[in-house]
A and B are shown apart, each in its own frame.
Chain A
Amino acid sequence: MAIPLVYNVRSVKARWTSTIVAVVGIAGTVGVFVAMLSLARGFKATLVSSGSADNALITRAGATSEMTSGVSLDSVKIIQDAPGIARGADGPLLTPEAVLMAPIPLLSTGTDANVVFRGVSPNVLAIRRQVKILEGRMFRPGLSEIVVGKNAKATYSGLTLGSTIGLGSARWQVVGIFDAGGSAFDSEVWGDAHLLNGAYKRPDTLSQSVTVHLASPAALQQLRDTLTADPRLNVDVTREIDYYAKQSTRMTQLITTLGGFVALIMAIGAVFGALNTMYSAVAERGREIATMRALGFGGAAVVVSFLIEALLISFIGGLLGCLAVLPLNGLTTSTMNFQTFSNLAFAFKITPLLLGIGVVFALAMGVLGGMPPAIRAATRPVATALREL
């Protein structure tokens, strides 16, 4: 026969101080665990959402990032005519881009951050379709004008609409703020590629990369086959989404390794806390338990009952931990991406799945912390326990 559930609920309430300690221990662990996972996920999501399945990024063969790549003007002309590239009203949808890092002070500390300054072609909005102008307008080709990502505006100083900023040897006017849907582009500054090359005294015949809009996501293979087979070219063709996913690997690995280790240690600590609470619960209720067993409740029923109590405590802890970190969802923070040395704003991303993992983690700690005391409760000889004071 099972011991009624209400017995556990009442006993949890009766010893609320030690219950709270166990709950807080588990809540803290779950909170840290979920926060770490959401940070890693948010970082990755930011970079992955930068890429689109409809776009392909063309870089020099073997380049690990845009920063180490280069595509010559002659190559761009050959790429233009390749099959698989979507065409707009004024020709093929492709943007040869110049990418460099400009030092712009952070609003928070006043020290310089490496901001990605991307020279694009004027039709870039037709290629990166997730990018929308929020305020102002797109820059005009041939003018020293820039448009700024919404996170860049919020993170770096001097990038508000209408202000001018010196980058390279030129002064640029901010004429628009764009929203790139929470992707890495939101941390960037875009201007006319030719003017950017001029301001930084770079040869106008060399781009870092070429991004093309594909006629359809399936056209990638055709484009890749054509370009890599062309003896005049020495390029890699990557789906944009894959390129950006790869850029996030090192940072994601760092966060998950660090976070995993911290959560593991904390979990051991929380299990200790739960064990302590449950052991003292068993010790304090020695006579109660013995009475129940004398009444005819079996050893298994006692084990199940105590386990349920431990699970109850850990479930509350897990829930509280999840609730405590929930406000982090969407919170934007910025860091430097190791792989490109560029500064990037990203947001914590807490998904239902992560919360589920957090609660399961809490329950696992409950089982580990509740099982040994429960077994002890069930195996103590009834007669001695009853005699105890």
Chain B
Amino acid sequence: MKFSRLILANLFRKKVRLILTIGSFAIALVLFTFLAVVKSAFSRGTEIAGADRLVVVSRIGLMQLMPISHRDKILAIPGVKAVTHNHWFGGVYQDEKNFFPQFVIDPEYQRQVMTELVVPEDQWRNFLKDRQGAIAGARTAARFHWKIGDRIPIKTTLYGGAAWEFNLDGIYHSERPGGDESQFWLQWKYFDENALAAVKSTAGWYVVKLDSPDDAVRVAKAIDEKFANSSFETKTETESAFAAGFVKQFGNIELLILTIGSVVFFTLLLVTGNTMAISVRERTSELAVLKAIGFSGRAVLFFVLAESIVIALVGGFLGLTLAYLAIPVVGMALTGLLPPLILSKSLLTLGLGFALIVGAASGLLPGIGAMRMRVVNALRRA
């Protein structure tokens, strides 16, 4: 492009200002990506939920147990492919700060239901043979530097006994990006043998795998009807509806994050817009000269716009790189408090798009001003 040298020369006329403006852009994008990533972490459960899975909990409350006999009755319902059942173990590993979810699982169907959580075949076989066996998610295993074969004591007060000991037989990975790799699985049989009498032969909740996701409404209704008017009524929802119920309880936290994000964006738009305006104003006479020697109004607008868009792009790119480097660090600080923070490609693209829009918008006003100005007036002013 023949004007690129002119644009470059204009860009570098005030180096400090250039650096600061690019810096503001970079900071805005770091914030934008960070907030977007946190927001998605809050609602991760709904994003990764399987469309062909139902969650069955007790109608009277989340923590209420149901008899294990529900399992076979649910299996008998047409359209159900597999059923697994879980308990919330709620134990403490070394210190309360080391929180991660521990699930009692049903080894028979776990893998048919949770298809995206993959355990290597040999590790899974060892787990089945080992009554005190346990499988940990890759994230939790890495967090505590566990290796296969480690003995892991977990204290619980919920089910009797002080410390339960487990052998780490395997580590699972999630095939779906963003999947939960923080769980710790232990065997229902071992749990049932050692639990308090009131907890024996129960399940905390069931997860149902369907033959087809289209059947979800019908099967959910059939399950709830099966147990209606029994002592243990159920509430069946799709996995995403179940997760959404949790997310909605966070309530205004999400709104808060969005509000902050918009405040920040508005502020930064103002800052960069003002800088652009100043730099155009300073050069009024120069632009007038350009017009006087025959450049059209459009060409002048193009120069101003090109300058602001270049600044936006460089700043945006820098910000996204920074975010890419910083987010894993912050994610580490939030381990156990939030699901992992994941920076997706679509988010990066969106961020760059935002930078472009802000850049164009902030160059447009002073650019149009420069396009319309009358050469005579502008030259006289200088």
| A-side contacts of B336, CB under 8 Å | 250
| B-side contacts of A280, CB under 8 Å | 17, 278
Among A123-131, A136-144, A329-337, the stretch in contact with B:
A329-337
CB-defined interface of A3-27 with B at 8 Å, one 1/0 digit per residue? 0000000000000011001001100
Query: How far is it, in angstroms, between the C-alpha of A341 and the C-alpha of B64 when the chains are bound?
Result: 14
Q: Judging by beta carbons under 8 Å apart, are B61 and A254 in contact? A: no
Interface size on B, residues (CB 8 A): 59
B217 at the A/B interface (Cβ < 8 Å)? no
A28 at the A/B interface (Cβ < 8 Å)? yes
| B-side contacts of A357, CB under 8 Å | none
CB-defined interface of A154-179 with B at 8 Å, one 1/0 digit per residue? 00000000000001110000000000
B20 at the A/B interface (Cβ < 8 Å)? yes
Q: Judging by beta carbons under 8 Å apart, are B248 and A258 in contact? A: no
Query: How far is it, in angstroms, between the C-alpha of A100 and the C-alpha of B31 when the chains are bound?
Result: 39
Nearest neighbor of B157 in chain A, beta-carbon distance: A63
Among A81-89, A269-277, A304-312, the stretch in contact with B:
A269-277
Nearest neighbor of B329 in chain A, beta-carbon distance: A261
Query: How far is it, in angstroms, between the C-alpha of A268 and the C-alpha of B90 when the chains are bound?
Result: 41
User: With A262-B34, A272-B20 as given contacts, are A108 and B337 in contact (CB-CB < 8 Å)?
Assistant: no
Count A-B pairs with CB separation below 8 Å: 157
Query: How far is it, in angstroms, between the C-alpha of A253 and the C-alpha of B97 when the chains are bound?
Result: 11
Query: How far is it, in angstroms, between the C-alpha of A253 and the C-alpha of B34 when the chains are bound?
Result: 17
| A-side contacts of B64, CB under 8 Å | 100, 200
CB-defined interface of B268-299 with A at 8 Å, one 1/0 digit per residue? 10110011011000000000000000000000
Q: Judging by beta carbons under 8 Å apart, are B252 and A262 in contact? A: no
Task: List B243-272 residues whose CB lies under 8 Å from chain A.
Answer: 244-246, 248-253, 256, 260, 263-264, 266-268, 270-271
CB-defined interface of A51-94 with B at 8 Å, one 1/0 digit per residue? 00000000011111001111000000000000000000000000
Among A111-119, A210-218, A221-229, A358-366, the stretch in contact with B:
A111-119
Q: Judging by beta carbons under 8 Å apart, are A257 and B333 in contact? A: yes
A387 at the A/B interface (Cβ < 8 Å)? no
Nearest CB in chain A: distance from B172 CB, A: 23
| B-side contacts of A335, CB under 8 Å | 249-253
| B-side contacts of A32, CB under 8 Å | 260, 263-264
B63 at the A/B interface (Cβ < 8 Å)? yes
Q: Judging by beta carbons under 8 Å apart, are B333 and A101 in contact? A: no
B352 at the A/B interface (Cβ < 8 Å)? no
| A-side contacts of B63, CB under 8 Å | 67, 100-101
B330 at the A/B interface (Cβ < 8 Å)? yes
- A residues adjacent to B (C-beta < 8 A): 17-18, 21, 24-25, 28, 31-32, 35, 39, 60-64, 67-70, 100-103, 106, 108-109, 111-114, 117, 167-169, 200-201, 203, 206, 250, 253-254, 257-258, 261-262, 265-266, 268-269, 272-273, 275-276, 279-280, 283, 333-336, 338, 341, 343
Add 11 more A-B contacts to A102-B61, A257-B337, A335-B253 (CB < 8 A).
A28-B267, A62-B92, A62-B157, A111-B248, A114-B249, A254-B334, A261-B34, A266-B264, A272-B271, A283-B14, A333-B251
